[in-house]
Amino acid sequence: METLRAVVLVEGDSDRVALRTLADRCGRDLAAEGIDVVAMGGITNTRAFASHYGPRGLGVPLAGLYDAADEAKLQRGLVAAGLEAALVPGGLTALNFYKCSRDLEDELIRALGVEAVQAVIEAAGEARSLRLLAGTPAQRGWRREEVLRRFLGGAVRTQGTLRGAAGRRVAAGPCARAVGCCARPNLRRTRI
C-alpha cells in the first residue's frame, strides 16, 4: 500500500476477513486503493486506534463496523479520540461507522439461512469442529443459530468461504456500507 487513504476499523480478525472478502467479490483491491482494514482486537480498543489513525493522529479518514450491543463502547472510544460527533443522533453513520443488527455472524446467518451456513462449514472441512462445539455442556441447550454464531466468531478459516457463499445478500448490509463509503471521491477527513 503506497498511500494510506482511509482506514476501516473492525473489532476482530473475522470481521477483517469478511470486509476484505466482500471487497474482493465486488472487484475492489483495497490495498491498491490505499484502504486498510484494521482489526482492533476488541471494541474497547477503539480509542487507541481512532486516536492513532484519526484526526489526532495520522489524520486518515475513518470508517468502521460494529455490533449493535457495542454501540455505547464505540461511541465512548470515538469521543475519547476527538470525534464528538459520535454522540449526536445519526453521528456514527455520519462518521462512516455502521451497525450490524446483532453482529457480523448474525448478518451472515440471516443472509444465507442455517442450512446453507452448515453446508458451507461442511464444505470447508469444519463439520467435526462444529459438532464438537455443539456437544459441549455449555452449548447443549442452544438453538442451532446460536451455536453457529459462536462457531463462526472463532472460525476464521471458514469466514472467507462463508462470505463468498453469501454474495449479494451480504453485500447490501453494513459490511458493504463500511467498504463502500471508502470508495466515495469526497470521503472527507474528520475534523475535531
Query: In angstroms, how far is CA 182 from the centroid of its own chain?
Result: 14
The predicted pLDDT at position 159 comes to 53
Q: How far apart are CA 94 and CA 186, in angstroms?
A: 13
Positive/negative CA dihedral, 74, 180, 32, 26: positive
For residue range 144-162, what is the model confidence (pLDDT) as tens digits?
888 888 887 765 455 555 5
**Across all residues in the chain, what is the average pLDDT?**
81
**Is it the case that residue 171 has pLDDT exceeding 50?**
no
pLDDT for position 188: 45
- H/E element holding 79? helix 71-80
Q: How far apart are CA 50 and CA 97, in angstroms?
A: 12
What is the pLDDT at residue 105?
74
CATH class of residue range 6-103+170-183: alpha beta
pLDDT at res. 18: 72
pLDDT of residue 121: 83
90-147 pLDDT, tens digit each: 999 999 998 887 777 777 777 778 888 888 888 878 889 889 989 999 988 898 888 8
Domain with CATH 3.40.50 in the chain: 6-103+170-183
Quote the CA–CA distance of 137 and 134 in Å, as a whole number.
8
> 190 falls in which pLDDT band (50, 70, 90)?
very low
| Highest mean pLDDT, choosing among 19-23, 68-72, 79-83, 167-171 | 79-83
Residue 42 cell numbers, joined:
476488541
pLDDT over 90, % of the chain:
38
The confidence score (pLDDT) of residue 78 equals 98
Residue 75 in this model has a pLDDT that exceeds 80? yes
User: Contact, 22 vs 179, CB < 8 A?
Assistant: yes
Residues 11/4, Cβ–Cβ less than 8 Å: no
* 146 DSSP assignment: H
- What's the whole-number mean pLDDT along residues 45-49? 98
**pLDDT at res. 89:** 94
Average pLDDT estimate for 156-173: 52
The grid coordinates listed for 50 are 481512532
